[in-house]
Structures are given as structure tokens and as C-alpha cells.
Chain A
Amino acid sequence: MSIINYVNKEIQFKIVYYGPALCGKTTNLTYIHSQVAEAHKGELVSLATAADRTLFFDFLPLNAVVVKGFKTKFQLYTVPGQVIYNATRQLVLRSVDGVVFVADSQWDKMEENIESFKNLEENLVRQGTSLDQIPYVVQYNKRDLGNPAPVHYLDFVLNNRKVRVPSFVGIATSGQGVFATLNAISRLLLQKFARENETAATKQQQRSATTSATTALSGIAAAAAHR
């Protein structure tokens, strides 16, 4: 669930880029950082090994004004993809609002993609949530490399839950599909926020109606007692 601050007029969303090792999660963030205007981005922080592999996470804060009068902050994180870093992935997933699952389109990476997707589902369950509750999108990255699986096959393997989510083909090194993916997850988060906002408005109306009815009844009772 997003964090809303009514004083600073800020809404914060946490988006986590998840996927197998070397699928292009960090490349997505690097490209986004290179394109977004200075005023709308913070520094890209990478906690990486000497060999530039993500050790803990990458972090990129972005700002937008999409909710009237409220600054909307999107905090983008990546997880380390290597299997051994599962404890770290669990830490990064804490309080996640939305997920981008980045898959490597190469045929020989299919097993790793499936394993990583299952791992995501398991780790969300550990957080007390699931992909039924959290908006997510899928990106089939590395379409430019030698032997990519067809998109319908990738959809069959990785996007075959009860509800199919938006999926995008990507070449993150050149930026293809990167912003389409980011905009899709941002929109899903805002739509979920709008639904929650509507529920909050309905509840507030119900509370006001109950309060008015109680006040009216007390008035009638007081008048009757006075007579």
C-alpha cells in the first residue's frame, strides 16, 4: 500500500524490478535515469559487486505530478537476480506496491525465468501478499540477441495466470520497451490508488451519514424529553 502524506502532499509508490540474473533489470533503471529530466529524478544508486553485478539493490527515485496537487514519488528498486541472494530479495520486496518482472527472452534462459517467477510468488507470500493483490507487468527483454523465444510462448509460460497482465517486448540496452513498461506499471498503480480512494470516499460518506442520523435522533430524543 502506498504511503500518503497529507502535510507534504506526497504519495509514495515502491516498484521492484524482479527477474533472473543478467536479464536487464539494472539496464532498465540505467536507461530510465539517462532519459528522465533532472527535475524529476534523483541519483541512481547501485550496490553492486566489483564485477558490476547487483549485490543488494539498485535504487532510482522519480517524481511526477499526476495526482492533482500531490507530488507522486515512484521509487524504483531492482533485486539481485542470482539464486543465492534470496534473503536480499525478500528484504527489497518489503512494502512493495508494484512489480516489473523482467524476463530474458532467450530459449536457454526459460528455466531461469520460470524459477525466478516462482521465487517472486513465494517471496510475496512470505510478505503476506500475492500477485493477485499487487499490480505487475512483464517485460520480455533481450529481443535483439541470437535466439529469442516467440512472444506467445513467453506469454504462455510467464503470463498465464487467471488474469493476463500487460506484457512488453524490450531491448533495454537501446531503451526499447523500457518506458512503455514503466508507464504501464505506474498507470496500474495509479488506477489501484484511484479505486482505494473511491472506497475511502464511500466509507467517509457512510460515516458522515451515520453521524448525521445519530445527531438527528439525539435531537429528537432531547426534544421529547423536554416536552
Chain B
Amino acid sequence: MHAMPILTIQAAESLLKALEDFLEKSEASFALIIERGGSILSQHGEIPDTIDPTILSALAAGSFAATRELALRVGETEFSALHQQGRQSHILMSAVNDEAVLMTIFGPKTTLGLVRFYSAGAVKQIASVLDQACGEPQIPIDLGAEATDDSHDVFEEPSRHA
């Protein structure tokens, strides 16, 4: 099983700082750090209200994993980035380490070259934060009664209660 990072306040702020620096230098629109199972670890930038980052994250993880698998099947062991070129918005996905991917969305304000250049530094910074976060002990949380209450349904089904 892959080790999951524990996003302490310090780790989460370091990831956010790395994204802030990266977006400022690259002039990309927004970026997400995605765990390869599809969950978001951090996000920053101008994410339009019409976009659900949770869905972007799940699709990006799937797309990156599928393309990596394709590369492996044709005998390629190196797979570090994936670029989708659109008319207005472009996507660059860069491998951070074996556990995470950096997804960057950028428009006409910048270029692929610039985004790729600055993503290389950001990826190293993020990888270092995540490596440390994977070894962090879980901080106990006050769960409250509902979390472990057997009689409480997490999700309600309105039509059956009606």
C-alpha cells in the first residue's frame, strides 16, 4: 500500500507556498497537486466556479496513470510529463514522485516552455515536502459522537423517508 502524506498545517502551507511561487513565475492560471489515486493534496490559483477541482483531480489521475501504462507497454520506462494543447486552455501534468502529480492549467498569457521550466523547480520542492509529510505521525482529531454512532446514517435517502 502506498504511504499517504499527512497534511499537517506546516506541510499544507509549504505546498501552497510552492504553488504560489510557481504560478507567479510561470503565469499559469491554476495548479493542483494530485495524489495518484485521484485526491487533491493542494490547489491554488484562479479556478473558475464552473470547474469542480475534485473532478479534475480524478480525471487527471486516471489520464496520467493510463498514459504512463501506455508508455510502459511500448517499453518506455521514463514518463515524467503529459501535455494537452487546447485553443484557449492547456494542461501540463508533471510527475512529482511515485505518489503525486502536479497539474497546471494555463492560457495564452504564458507559454508551454515557461510553464515547463518553472514546473521543474516546483516539482522538486513539492516532492521534498511530500516525502517529509509521508513520515509524519497522524495528529489525533476530536471525532465527535456522530462519526462512530452506528445508528446514524452518513447519507440520507429522501425518497424513502418521504
Contact = CB atoms under 8 A, between A and B. Distances in A.
Contacts, number: 163
Contacts of A3: 4-5, 7, 35, 39, 41
Given A4-B7, A45-B55, A187-B150, 14 more contacts: A14-B38, A35-B158, A59-B59, A66-B146, A67-B146, A68-B146, A70-B141, A77-B38, A95-B37, A95-B38, A182-B155, A183-B154, A183-B155, A207-B137
A72 to B, nearest CB: 8
Contacts of A48: none
Contacts of A197: 138, 140-141, 143
Interface in A174-205: 175, 178-179, 182-183, 186-187, 190-191, 193-194, 196-198, 200-201, 203-204
Interface string A150-189: 0000000000000000000000000100110011001100
A200 B6 CA distance: 12
A177 to B, nearest CB: 11
A58 B69 CA distance: 19
Nearest to B3: A1
Q: Majority SS of interface residues in chain B?
A: loop
B138 A196 contact: yes
A128 interface: yes
A61 B59 CA distance: 12
Which A-B residue pairs are the 5 nearest by beta carbons? Answer: A95-B37, A68-B144, A201-B140, A7-B12, A200-B138
27 contacts: A1-B1, A3-B7, A3-B35, A4-B6, A4-B141, A5-B12, A5-B41, A6-B8, A6-B139, A35-B157, A35-B158, A37-B158, A40-B155, A59-B38, A59-B59, A64-B155, A66-B146, A67-B141, A68-B142, A91-B66, A92-B62, A95-B36, A129-B1, A175-B159, A186-B155, A200-B138, A204-B139
A57 interface: yes
A122 B133 CA distance: 29
A194 B55 CA distance: 27
Contact of B9 (A7, A66, A96): A7
Contact of B37 (A5, A6, A94, A194): A94
Interface in A46-102: 47, 56-57, 59, 61-62, 64, 66-70, 72-75, 77, 87-88, 91-92, 94-96
Contacts of B5: 3
B143 A75 contact: no
Interface residues of B, number: 50
Contacts of A6: 7-9, 12, 139
A133 interface: yes
